[in-house]
Amino acid sequence: MPVIELSHLQKSFGEVEVLRDISLSVDKGEVISVIGASGSGKSTMLRCINLLEIPSGGAIYFNGKNIMDKGLDLSEYRAKVGMVFQQFNLFENMTALQNCVVGQVKVLRRRKDEAEEIAREVLSRVGMLQYINAKPKQLSGGQKQRVAIARTLAMNPEAILFDEPTSALDPEMVGEVLGVMKSLADSGYTMIVVTHEMSFAKDVSNRVIFMDKGVVVEDDSPSVIFQNPKMPRTKEFLSRYFSC
């Protein structure tokens, strides 16, 4: 059974149909890169999966259960599907450690000492153990993003969604974040990564999805997408992308 399955997912903002008919299935341990031009609906798709946006049509299944059903425990579901944002979205009033503790205590009802222990573990996993007492303002972009990843990991997610996690970073900090993401991929996390980092898409992901104007145009292995894409739109996008 796939961990996440989108079936004819559709999303409109007023008159504008941003996602037209997205069907996609993600198996446990798969790492999927999503590429596509700006405005093609990549972020909207991730936000629908995390229910930050309510889909207008179609269905999203998580471990076989339709998350649009009335009985869904939204908090419990969101804890299982982590999300990492382009702008980090850390809690500015908390230290790195507190950022990783608050969700565990409030949502998962873990004891504070247990939550702090786990927070230390995940922060050490992203190489940020030294900075547990620092507030977001005192950290660089790459460090913030690693704390944001740790905050998600602390919730023991079954899948993690990344929305352009390196796009807001200075070039010299991209590597440290991609490194952490690669280590997560290697240890078996299920990941959907919206990215402009073609090297990550090529080398780390199992599958690459090319989106355009609210539809999935092509969904294949990285080697097919990058070496001989079947669809003309994919070809055109990639040639434009690599020529500039």
Partner 1 sequence: MSTMSFFEKVWFLIEQYYPLFITGIAVTMLIAMTGTVAGFLIGLVVGVVRTIPTSEHDSIIKRALLAVVRFICVAYIEIFRGTPMMIQAAVIYYGIFMGVDININIAAFAIVSINTGAYMAEIIRGGIISIDKGQTEGAHSIGMTHRQTMTSVVLPQAIRNIMPSIGNEFVVNIKDTSVLNVIGVAELYFQSRSAAGTYAMFFQSFTIAAVIYFILTFTVTRILRLIERKMDGPKSYVIYGSQTNPAAEIHIDKGGV
Ligand X SMILES: Nc1ncnc2c1ncn2[C@@H]1O[C@H](COP(=O)(O)OP(=O)(O)OP(=O)(O)O)[C@@H](O)[C@H]1O
The span from the CA of 152 to the CA of 118, in Å, is: 12
Distance CA 225, CA 227 (A): 6
- Single out the segment in contact with partner 1 by CB under 8 A; choices: 31-39, 87-95, 173-181, 196-204: 87-95
Smallest distance, Å, CB 125 to ligand X?
Answer: 28
Task: Identify the three-state secondary structure at position 91.
Answer: coil
Of the candidates 44, 98, 190, 205, which one interacts with ligand X according to CB under 6 A?
44
Nearer to partner 1, 100 or 216 (CB): 100
**Residue 43 binds Mg ion, judged by CB under 5 A:** yes
Backbone angles phi, psi at 64, to 5 degrees: 85, -10
Query: 183 touches which of Mg ion, ligand X, partner 1, none (CB within 5 to 8 A by kind)?
Result: none
Handedness of CA 45, 51, 56, 61 (dihedral sign): positive
Tell me if residue 77 falls in helix, strand or coil: helix
Residues 224, 164, 144: CA angle, nearest 5 degrees? 140
User: Which contacts of 222-227 are long-range, i.e. CB under 8 A and separated by 24 or more positions?
Assistant: 222/33, 225/201, 226/198, 226/201, 226/202
Selected from 24, 33, 41, 98, the binder of ligand X by CB under 6 A is 41
User: Residue 91 or 226: which CB sits closer to partner 1?
Assistant: 91
| Closer to ligand X by Cβ: residue 72 or 215 | 215
Is residue 18 part of the contact set for ligand X (CB under 6 A)? Answer: yes
Using CB under 8 A, pick the residue from 62, 85, 200, 210 that binds partner 1. Answer: 85
Residues between 172 and 191 with contacts to partner 1, criterion CB under 8 A: none
- For the chain, first and last CA: distance in Å? 40
Beta bridge partners of 229: none
54 interacts with, out of Mg ion, partner 1, ligand X, none, CB within 5 to 8 A per kind: partner 1
- Burial code of 149-175, b = ≥16 C-beta within 10 A, e = fewer? bbbbbbbebbbbbbbbbbeebeeebbe
Residue 244 binding result from ligand X, Mg ion, partner 1, none, given CB thresholds of 5 to 8 Å by partner type: none
CA distances from 202 to 183, 186, 191, 195, 224 (A): 15, 15, 15, 11, 10
Under the criterion CB under 6 A, does residue 190 sit at the interface with ligand X?
A: no
- Residue 195 in contact with Mg ion, rule: CB under 5 A: no
The residues binding Mg ion (CB under 5 A) are 43
The residues binding ligand X (CB under 6 A) are 13, 16, 18, 36, 38-44
The residues binding partner 1 (CB under 8 A) are 50, 52, 54, 74-79, 82-83, 85, 87-95, 102-103, 106-108, 129-135, 137-138, 148, 151-152, 155
